[in-house]
Amino acid sequence: MEGALSISSKENRQIRAPGDGPLLRVAGLSKFYGARTGCADVSFDLWPGEVLGIVGESGSGKSTLLSCLAGHLTPDRGQVIFETREGPRDTVAMAEPERRLLGRTDWAFVHQNPRDGLRMGVSAGGNVGERLMAVGARNFGAIRETAADWLGRVEIDAARIDDRPRQFSGGMQQRLQIARNLVTGPRLVFMDEPTGGLDVSVQARLLDLLRGLVRDMGLAVIIVTHDLAVARLLAHRLMVMKDGRVIEQGLTDQVLDDPQAAYTQLLVSSVLQV
Amino acid sequence: MNAPHHDPDYNFAYLDEQTKRMIRRAILKGIAVPGYQVPFASREMPMPYGWGTGGVQVTAACLVPEDRLKVIDQGADDTTNAVSIRRFFQRTAGVEATEKTTEASVIQTRHRIPETPLTEGQILVYQVPIPEPLRFLEPRESETRRMHALADYGLMHVKLYEDIARHGAIATSYAYPVEVEGRYVMDPSPIPKFDNPKLGGNPAIQLFGAGREQRIYALPPYTAVRSLDFEDYPFEPSKANHDCDLCGASGSYLDEVITDDQGSRMFVCSDTDYCETRRNAGHRGRLSPEEAR
């Protein structure tokens, strides 16, 4: 299993997407917190290389949905079928060790707050190398070389490989988190407000970087955001959520330029124009 | 049985029989699952935590009246901790004590494995301050337990990676993490990494007791134990690059002793029994008194 995993980061991932079907098929996914609804009856397909945006206001169930998809929360109902290298599998019914292996090989999760996704006491190189070592890389030189390469790809000076994330700015920390996640060449990336808490110019640079990486690596991405501009820039397709339900979905430009649901219209018109 | 002369105010080996049974169950489970940390209901002992409360409880649960006990602290039989624990068992269990590794049936140790190879039938009991090898990397106990359960040990190598990145070599010199039978990663207690090769394939039973942390783990005889490392930075047992100044031994672990304020120092075996046995057999080192005369 581990032998099949290449740690080379330069490979073109698109060739590897198995089959022609969707990468992820979600059917009837529901999560309840007691009597309250986290998310209810969410269904969608995600294709290889596709970027799906999930938008909605705070408390609309976006993050609950993302956590259920990524296996951090156990949904109460529904299926999340992922096209693994061995064929389609329901990740909800999967055993914990398998899900964890998936979590450090084919999947990646970028947290809103880099402190949740990074080890703050471990050097940048160690942070990037952790996933490699977790899947069995045992050559220090090779791990370090890959880490340096990835720091370069997220525009962090390779001379800072032994610095700890604490000494990095917020934008750098977020880029480091992205490098740490993408180093094993995942096929599906979950992002929870990746640009939250950054100032606009740093946001712009990060978005630019993300767009480049997504295109080059052919990543499928599910990105949760409340920032419609981010959704417009990154997402091919958009899902609008309110009170735990999907109220509208379609191509990004279509949803944003011609919103049908009343709530989506409100959301789009609430954006401040500069 | 014919309980020898132990203080009649105490039950044999201090602990009551039910407690000893409870500890033995934990030991047996530990032996059945090598390297797995078995929780046990650690008791208050008449000594402070950090002085070997875990080791003492394991020893108490193992002792029988016929046993011959050896206690070492950093390899020495005559340091405070070793002397107190030996006296404790002489009084509460009435067992015979010895300083000879070869004659002992139970050896309680702090921070060393004796130089003299152990044999089948011997039990080596380690005092363990912190049994969790992942503790300083992952503070949550719930999470480290899950990591052990799933053999999710990538983090352990992150520690070694950090060592090499910062110091140019694996700077961990004691409590060096090991992998047991290709499954559990284990903290061998703070023994110098020089002793790590003696953990694997050892004919003796090795028991580890952590009193404060309430964990017991074990290595049954002839268990495969591998010290973690990288392909390009392999594990190296290390010691001071000297011979013993008293017995001339070149392959034993050495203590450095500063002898004056002019920078003079001597290196002596940390295992006092080993050193003495060699001296009695006629081996001499650089600073042996006979040669000074």
C-alpha span between A140 and B165 (Å, rounded): 9
Report yes or no: B63 and B243 within 8 Å, Cβ to Cβ. no
Structure tokens at A198: 């950054």
| Encoded amino acid at B120, one letter | E
As a whole number, mean pLDDT of residues A139-150 equals: 95
Residue B269 is a catalytic residue: yes
Instruction: State the pLDDT at residue B115.
Output: 96
Say yes or no to pLDDT of A227 above 90. Answer: no
Q: For tokens 């952790």, what's the residue?
A: A130
Least CB–CB distance from A134: residue in B154, B164, B233: B154
Mean pLDDT score across all residues of chain B = 93
As a whole number, mean pLDDT of residues B201-206 equals: 98
- Contact state of A97 with B166 under an 8 Å Cβ cutoff: no
Per-residue pLDDT band at A226 (split at 50, 70, 90):
confident
Instruction: State the pLDDT at residue B291.
Output: 52
- Contact state of A100 with B154 under an 8 Å Cβ cutoff: no
Phi, psi of B275 (to 5 degrees): -65, -45
Instruction: State the pLDDT at residue B50.
Output: 86
Residues sharing a CB contact under 8 Å with residue A102, sequence separation 6 or more, in sequence order:
A71, A82, A84, A91, A94
- Contact state of B233 with A138 under an 8 Å Cβ cutoff: no
Structure tokens at B76: 């020495």
Annotated catalytic residue, options B75, B211, B247, B285: B247
More confident residue, A241 or A86: A241
Which chain A residues are Cβ-neighbours of B151 within 8 angstroms?
97
Cα dihedral B92, B95, B100, B102 sign: negative
Which chain A residues are Cβ-neighbours of B161 within 8 angstroms?
125-126, 129, 133, 140, 143
As a whole number, mean pLDDT of residues A12-39 equals: 79
Instruction: State the pLDDT at residue A197.
Output: 79
Say yes or no to pLDDT of A3 above 60. Answer: no
Say yes or no to pLDDT of B116 above 90. Answer: yes
Residue B247 is a catalytic residue: yes
Q: Which residue of A has its CA nearest to B153?
A: A134
- Contact state of B150 with A125 under an 8 Å Cβ cutoff: no
Which chain A residues are Cβ-neighbours of B154 within 8 angstroms?
104, 130-131, 133-135
Is B163 in the A-facing interface, judged by CB distances under 8 Å? no
Structure tokens at A214: 């997504």
Q: Which residue of B has its CA nearest to A138?
A: B230
Report yes or no: A25 and A125 within 8 Å, Cβ to Cβ. no
**pLDDT-wise least confident of A62-71, B16-25, B283-292:** B283-292
User: What are the b/e assignments for B92-101, b being 16+ CB within 10 Å?
Assistant: bbbbbbbbeb
Report yes or no: B217 and B244 within 8 Å, Cβ to Cβ. no
Tell me the shortest Cα–Cα distance from B213 to chain A, in angstroms: 24
Phi, psi of A263 (to 5 degrees): -65, -40
Tell me the shortest Cα–Cα distance from A255 to chain B, in angstroms: 42
Say yes or no to pLDDT of A21 above 80. Answer: yes
Tell me the shortest Cα–Cα distance from B232 to chain A, in angstroms: 6
Say yes or no to pLDDT of A222 above 60. Answer: yes
C-alpha span between B257 and B244 (Å, rounded): 11
Cα dihedral B281, B285, B289, B292 sign: positive
Instruction: State the pLDDT at residue A87.
Output: 87
Test the B interface: residue of A2, A143, A162, A180 with most B CBs within 10 Å = A143
Instruction: State the pLDDT at residue B288.
Output: 84
Q: Which residue of B has its CA nearest to A103?
A: B152
- Contact state of A140 with B231 under an 8 Å Cβ cutoff: yes
Instruction: State the pLDDT at residue B111.
Output: 94
Residue B89's CB is within 10 A of a number of other CB atoms, namely 24
C-alpha span between A69 and A67 (Å, rounded): 5
Is B231 in the A-facing interface, judged by CB distances under 8 Å? yes
The three-class DSSP label of residue A55 is strand
- Contact state of B161 with A129 under an 8 Å Cβ cutoff: yes
C-alpha span between B86 and B56 (Å, rounded): 10
Per-residue pLDDT band at A13 (split at 50, 70, 90):
very low
The three-class DSSP label of residue B191 is coil
Cα–Cα separations (whole angstroms), residue B119 to A78, A240, B58, B191: 59, 71, 19, 20
Is A209 in the B-facing interface, judged by CB distances under 8 Å? no
Per-residue pLDDT band at B137 (split at 50, 70, 90):
confident
As a whole number, mean pLDDT of residues A105-118 equals: 93
Q: What is the DSSP string of A225-250?
A: -S-HHHHHHH-SEEEEEETTEEEEEE
Report how far Cα B136 is from the mean position of its chain's Cα atoms: 21
Instruction: State the pLDDT at residue A7.
Output: 44
C-alpha span between A196 and B50 (Å, rounded): 46
Instruction: State the pLDDT at residue B292.
Output: 46
Instruction: State the pLDDT at residue B61.
Output: 97
Which chain A residues are Cβ-neighbours of B232 within 8 angstroms?
139-141
Percentage of chain B lying above the pLDDT 70 cut: 97
Say yes or no to pLDDT of B148 above 80. Answer: yes
Q: Which residue of A has its CA nearest to B155?
A: A130
Cα–Cα separations (whole angstroms), residue A190 to A6, A82, B131: 21, 13, 36
As a whole number, mean pLDDT of residues A20-42 equals: 92
Q: Which residue of A has its CA nearest to B151?
A: A97
Per-residue pLDDT band at B129 (split at 50, 70, 90):
very high
- Which strands, in side-by-side order, build the sheet including B68-73? B38-39, B215-219, B205-210, B123-127, B106-110, B68-73, B96-97
Say yes or no to pLDDT of A18 above 70. Answer: no
- Contact state of B230 with A162 under an 8 Å Cβ cutoff: no
Which chain B residues are Cβ-neighbours of A135 within 8 angstroms?
154
C-alpha span between A5 and A7 (Å, rounded): 6
Say yes or no to pLDDT of B250 above 60. Answer: yes
As a whole number, mean pLDDT of residues B196-202 equals: 97
Does the ipTM exceed 0.95?
no
Q: How many CA atoms lie within 13 A of A41 on its CB side?
A: 5
Q: How many CB pairs under 8 A join A and B?
A: 54
Residues sharing a CB contact under 8 Å with residue A85, sequence separation 6 or more, in sequence order:
A4, A18, A106
Say yes or no to pLDDT of B4 above 90. Answer: no
Report yes or no: B117 and B271 within 8 Å, Cβ to Cβ. no
Report yes or no: B101 and B122 within 8 Å, Cβ to Cβ. no
Is A114 in the B-facing interface, judged by CB distances under 8 Å? no
**pLDDT-wise least confident of A54-58, B24-28, B91-95, B224-228:** A54-58
Say yes or no to pLDDT of A145 above 90. Answer: yes
As a whole number, mean pLDDT of residues B126-148 equals: 93
Say yes or no to pLDDT of B270 above 80. Answer: yes
Percentage of chain B lying above the pLDDT 90 cut: 89
Condensed to tens digits (0 to 9), the pLDDT of residues B153-164 reads 988 999 999 999
Is A62 in the B-facing interface, judged by CB distances under 8 Å? no
Q: Which residue of B has its CA nearest to A121?
A: B137
**pLDDT-wise least confident of A196-210, A211-225, B172-186:** A196-210
Structure tokens at B55: 């080791």
Instruction: State the pLDDT at residue A19.
Output: 57
Least CB–CB distance from A133: residue in B151, B161, B166: B161
Say yes or no to pLDDT of A273 above 80. Answer: no
Mean pLDDT score across all residues of chain A = 88
Condensed to tens digits (0 to 9), the pLDDT of residues A159-215 reads 999 999 999 999 999 999 999 999 999 999 999 999 887 888 888 888 889 889 888
Which chain A residues are Cβ-neighbours of B143 within 8 angstroms?
none
Instruction: State the pLDDT at residue B138.
Output: 87
Least CB–CB distance from A133: residue in B151, B157, B164: B157
